[in-house]
């Protein structure tokens, strides 16, 4: 009886060790310097990201409120020259568009400028920066790590915050329609084959992603399983 029990325990330990050996985590660290370099490359090589707000503006109180916002007024711009869009800038008012990690949260200050045509007023130009947050979520069904930007507050140049509520609404709606959700990683793009002897290969298959926040960095734990290919 004792011998049979010992044999069974040895078999269980063997298979447990085998399964553990075929799984392993890999850590990917993305720090603030990485995101700064990435944003520099984006703004140096491409036009600033731009979102149309033409479909966002138009609530009944927009025309009335716009008269008191203190925006620079290019009055009478009804010739189609009004852009009616928001552009994300690298920097404005001493604030740089960036990704910052603080206390287990992701903060995304967004510098911007834009314009829209207000009824009875004309083309209104504005600029400033937005306090935004980024939340991360792993979609197991699609195998994606995604992020969503939420605009918390808008500070406009020269208006002492007046008009920020409406611009925040426009900016949030534009980001939700055109940017969110942001795809950060896909499991299928993280999987790859590793050649072994005799012409075979092992498939390193990314099976799960778990984001964790470190000191000024995002640490992504990628769980891999090894399969004969």
Q: Would you say residue 223 lies in a domain?
A: no
What is the tens place of the pLDDT at every residue in 174-205? 888 888 999 999 999 999 999 987 778 989 99
pLDDT at 65: 38
Q: Would you say residue 101 lies in a domain?
A: yes
Inter-residue contact 63 to 121 (CB < 8 Å): yes
How many domains is the chain partitioned into structurally? Answer: 1
pLDDT at 178: 86
Residue 80: pLDDT band by 50, 70, 90 thresholds? low
What is the tens place of the pLDDT at every residue in 58-76? 444 443 333 333 333 333 3
Cis peptide before 181 (omega within 30 of 0): yes
Calpha distance 180→170 (Å, rounded) = 14
Q: How far is CA 35 from the centre of its chain?
A: 11
Domain that holds residue 77: 32-184
Q: Would you say residue 163 lies in a domain?
A: yes
pLDDT beyond 70 at 171: yes
Q: To which residue do tokens 């605009």 refer?
A: 151
pLDDT beyond 90 at 166: no
What's the pTM? Answer: 0.75
Q: To which residue do tokens 């990690």 refer?
A: 101
Q: Would you say residue 226 lies in a domain?
A: no
pLDDT beyond 60 at 9: no
What is the tens place of the pLDDT at every residue in 140-165? 999 999 999 999 988 888 665 566 78
Exposure string over 178-201, b if 16+ CB within 10 A, otherwise e: eeeeeebbbbeebbeeeeeeeeee
């Amino acid at each position: 009886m004792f011998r049979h029990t010992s044999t069974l325990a040895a078999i269980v330990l063997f298979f447990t060790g085998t399964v553990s050996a075929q799984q392993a985590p890999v850590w990917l660290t993305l720090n603030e310097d990485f995101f700064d370099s990435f944003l520099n490359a984006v703004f140096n090589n491409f036009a600033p990201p731009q979102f149309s707000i033409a479909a966002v503006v138009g609530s009944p109180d927009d025309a009335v409120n716009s008269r008191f916002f203190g925006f620079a007024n290019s009055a009478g711009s009804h010739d189609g020259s009004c852009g009616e869009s928001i552009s994300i800038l690298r920097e404005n008012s001493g604030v740089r568009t960036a990704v910052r990690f603080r206390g287990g949260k992701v903060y995304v200050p967004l510098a911007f400028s834009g314009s829209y045509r207000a009824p009875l007023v004309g083309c209104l130009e504005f600029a400033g920066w937005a306090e935004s947050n980024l939340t991360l979520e792993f979609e197991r069904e699609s195998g994606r790590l995604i992020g969503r930007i939420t605009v918390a507050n808008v500070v406009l140049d020269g208006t002492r915050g007046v008009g920020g509520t409406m611009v925040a609404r426009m900016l949030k709606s534009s980001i939700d329609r055109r940017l969110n959700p942001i795809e950060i990683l896909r499991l299928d793009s993280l999987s790859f084959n590793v050649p072994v002897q005799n012409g075979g290969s092992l498939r390193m298959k990314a099976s799960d992603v778990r984001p964790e926040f470190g000191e000024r960095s995002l640490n992504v734990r990628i769980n891999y399983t090894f399969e004969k290919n």
